[in-house]
Amino acid sequence: MSHDITHDGVADHHDHDHKPKGFVKRWLMTTNHKDIGTLYLIFAFAMFILGGAMAMIIRLELFQPGLQFVEPDFFNQMTTMHALIMVFGAVMPAFVGLANWMIPMMIGAPDMALPRMNNWSFWILPFAFALLSSTLFMEGGAPAGGWTMYPPLVLQGGHNVAYLVFAVHLMGISSIMGAINVIATIMNMRAPNVGYLNMPLFVWTWLITAFLLIAVMPVLAGAVTMLLTDRYFDTSFFNAAGGGDPVLFQHIFWFFGHPEVYIMILPAFGVVSEIIPTFARKPLFGYVSMVYATAAIAFLSFIVWAHHMFSVGMPLGAELYFMYATMMIAVPTGVKIFNWVATMWKGSMTFETPMLFSLAFVILFTIGGFSGVMMALAPVDLQYHDTYFIVAHFHYVLVTGAVFAIIAGVYYWIPKWSGHMYNERLGKIHFWWSTISVNVLFFPQHFLGLAGMPRRIPDYSTQFAEFNMWSSIGGFAFGLAQVFFIYIVWKTVRGGEKATGQVWEGAKGLEWTVPSPAPHHTFEDFGPVDLDKMAHGKTH
């Protein structure tokens, strides 16, 4: 490896910055963190469209009461596959893509710590989802027992179980390798003068997320392995006739599942913590408290899992414990919301598209957080359980939370990736279109749930008809808005106003010290960086 190195850590000749030639060498065999980041983001986007198409089928069927378009079993396949694809195929890989692109540039590292493993962890994913999606074309169809894979139901659906289990194994391997890579990069690859408390919050939240991934993805792998052996090798982990217990699966699954929801939201916290200070033109309020709050949320996520299963029949003491422990999560989360608001307080705010999505994130994620606190209450949760109230809750935190943060991050960093500014007018149209439609889509579902409409059912009582129609209209509009987003991204990558290296007036961080588009290799000399360029760099 012989590269010309300049003192600001950037290979300065753009005309030949050592990109490998040819599709196979450039993409299939790549070990470059920026290329792998791009691959992750494209893959996540493709899965987002696939999972979104399934959501459209679900909303189409629910547009009116009665069965119009699909068979109930196919409807259940759609709800199951939509969730699996969105969780493991869209949201998680999108954040890994952002991590790949941004973490090395944010800490002054030349690349990820383990570049070849990085390639491997990406290229496993298409195979995992080919395996999972192939079940759609099989006799008996795709898994239809819900993404939570509760036995015995999930074991009664034919041989898609085996495909589901192996797909989950592959996703798990991919995530674990990605997480180890993130940890090694952050711990070992920082520029020599960048300390832990100089790191941008996006790096911090990802470090903590990576620890969560290593801790819980293997537990999920174990749980689905038990499903596999129960189905094919006559073990009785979850089979009551053989002395097992189906409720045990729920405990193991949610021991993974609750940290999993923070795996999907902590990096989102990181993204908006980068964006809000930029457009408020003020340093992030309470940086250290943000780090501690993130760590506290991660710790608490391990000890609250049974709040997903209040209705299985727990002793009063356990219900009380899980209820109070869950409500405690609102404290560090509240610290974060407070800090974001305080960052904006008396700031010189402007409202470019990334900022708009981040503001919507803060407000709408908080709505999702509030409904979460409502469900933490064990006695009322018995009413909310398995209703559309739950559906509304987790879509507020995942769509207007995680997905909005990803969209905000794409608008924020795409000038750095592509070298072009996106069209601000189209971005604003995309924002208002998405934000209005997503609320039309999910807000009525709160009322549907409170009135008793169960989730995962293709038909419903006529009393729910109007809210469902609104919800479906909002759903179609939101889906269309994301097709519009593809157009905006496509247009930006192809051309547009040239972006400067700094891109945003108020932006701080090492990623803004390199030119746009970011050269193929950056920060190659492992040398010290200018701490004044970092948001949290100055040591007073």
Partner 1 sequence: MQREQENRKVLKIGLTVAVLMVGFGFALVPLYDIICDITGLNGKTGVLAAQDVRETAVDHTVVVQFDGTVNSDLPWSFRPKQFSMEVVPGKLYHTEYIAKNISTDDVTGQAVPSVAPNEASIYFSKTECFCFTEQLLASGEEKNMPVTFIVSADIPKDIDVLTLSYTFFNKNRMTTAEKQQAGNANHEKI
Chain residues binding partner 1 by CB under 8 A are 113-114, 117, 176, 179-180, 183-184, 187-189, 214-223, 226, 231-232, 234, 237, 240-243, 245, 247-248, 251-252, 255, 313-315, 526
Among residues 133, 294, 301, 333, which one is catalytic?
A: 333
Map tokens 């711990």 to a residue.
187
Among residues 34, 190, 258, 536, which one is catalytic?
A: 258
Q: What are phi and psi of 387, to 5 degrees?
A: -110, 180
- For residue 236, the minimal CB distance to partner 1 (Å) is 9
Give the three-class secondary structure for 440.
helix
> To the nearest 10°, the Cα dihedral for 135, 141, 144, 148?
-10
Q: How many angstroms separate the CA atoms of 327 and 307, rounded? A: 10
Among residues 80, 121, 174, 209, which one is catalytic?
A: 174
- Verify whether residue 333 is a known catalytic residue: yes
- For residue 312, the minimal CB distance to partner 1 (Å) is 9
> To the nearest 10°, the Cα dihedral for 528, 506, 95, 366?
130
Give the three-class secondary structure for 498.
strand
Q: Give whichever of 241 and 288 is closer to partner 1, judged by the CB atom.
A: 241
Residue 473 and residue 497 in contact, taking contact as beta carbons nearer than 8 Å: no
Residue 224 and residue 162 in contact, taking contact as beta carbons nearer than 8 Å: no
- Verify whether residue 430 is a known catalytic residue: no
Q: How many angstroms separate the CA atoms of 157 and 143, rounded? A: 7
- Verify whether residue 336 is a known catalytic residue: yes
* Half-sphere exposure at residue 18, Cβ-oriented, CA atoms within 13 angstroms: 16
User: Quick one: which of 164, 175, 153 has its CA closest to 83?
Assistant: 164
- For residue 111, the minimal CB distance to partner 1 (Å) is 11
- For residue 250, the minimal CB distance to partner 1 (Å) is 11
- For residue 491, the minimal CB distance to partner 1 (Å) is 39
Among residues 33, 34, 231, 336, which one is catalytic?
A: 336
User: Quick one: which of 215, 157, 178, 20 has its CA closest to 103?
Assistant: 178
- For residue 180, the minimal CB distance to partner 1 (Å) is 4
User: Quick one: which of 23, 154, 141 has its CA closest to 74?
Assistant: 141
Among residues 27, 101, 147, 150, which one is catalytic?
A: 147
Q: How many angstroms separate the CA atoms of 40 and 448, rounded? A: 36
Please say whether the dihedral angle defined by the alpha carbons of residues 205, 211, 212 and 213, taken in this order, is positive or negative.
positive
Q: Give whichever of 222 and 286 is closer to partner 1, judged by the CB atom.
A: 222
Among residues 19, 251, 281, 455, which one is catalytic?
A: 455
Q: Give whichever of 206 and 388 is closer to partner 1, judged by the CB atom.
A: 206
- Verify whether residue 538 is a known catalytic residue: no
Q: Give whichever of 12 and 71 is closer to partner 1, judged by the CB atom.
A: 71
- Verify whether residue 273 is a known catalytic residue: yes
Amino acid at 460: Y
- Verify whether residue 174 is a known catalytic residue: yes
- Verify whether residue 308 is a known catalytic residue: yes
As a whole number of Å, the CA-based R_g of the chain is 23
- Verify whether residue 175 is a known catalytic residue: yes
Residue 114 and residue 184 in contact, taking contact as beta carbons nearer than 8 Å: yes
- For residue 254, the minimal CB distance to partner 1 (Å) is 11
- For residue 240, the minimal CB distance to partner 1 (Å) is 5
- Verify whether residue 3 is a known catalytic residue: no
Among residues 82, 231, 385, 395, which one is catalytic?
A: 82
Q: Which residues contact 191 (CB under 8 A, 6 or more apart)?
A: 107, 108, 109, 510, 523, 526, 527, 528, 529
Q: What are phi and psi of 150, to 5 degrees?
A: -65, 130
Question: What secondary structure letter does DSSP report for 509?
Answer: S
- For residue 150, the minimal CB distance to partner 1 (Å) is 16
Q: How many angstroms separate the CA atoms of 10 and 520, rounded? A: 9
- Verify whether residue 258 is a known catalytic residue: yes
Task: Report the b/e string of 496-526 with b at 16+ CB within 10 A.
Answer: beebebebbebbbbbbbbbbbbbbbbbbbee
Q: Which residues on adjacent β-strands are paired with residue 420?
A: 498
Q: Give whichever of 179 and 360 is closer to partner 1, judged by the CB atom.
A: 179
Q: How many angstroms separate the CA atoms of 86 and 399, rounded? A: 10
Q: Give whichever of 215 and 293 is closer to partner 1, judged by the CB atom.
A: 215
Amino acid at 226: M
Per-residue tokens: 111 = 């690349």
Q: How many angstroms separate the CA atoms of 485 and 414, rounded? A: 13
- Verify whether residue 511 is a known catalytic residue: no
Q: Give whichever of 105 and 453 is closer to partner 1, judged by the CB atom.
A: 105
- Verify whether residue 340 is a known catalytic residue: no
Among residues 35, 61, 111, 319, which one is catalytic?
A: 111
- Verify whether residue 82 is a known catalytic residue: yes
Q: Which residues contact 46 (CB under 8 A, 6 or more apart)?
A: none
- Verify whether residue 262 is a known catalytic residue: yes
Residue 386 and residue 443 in contact, taking contact as beta carbons nearer than 8 Å: no
Among residues 80, 273, 371, 513, which one is catalytic?
A: 273
- For residue 128, the minimal CB distance to partner 1 (Å) is 17
Residue 219 and residue 252 in contact, taking contact as beta carbons nearer than 8 Å: yes
Q: Which sequence positions are flagged as catalytic? A: 82, 111, 147, 174-175, 258, 260, 262, 273, 307-308, 333, 336, 455
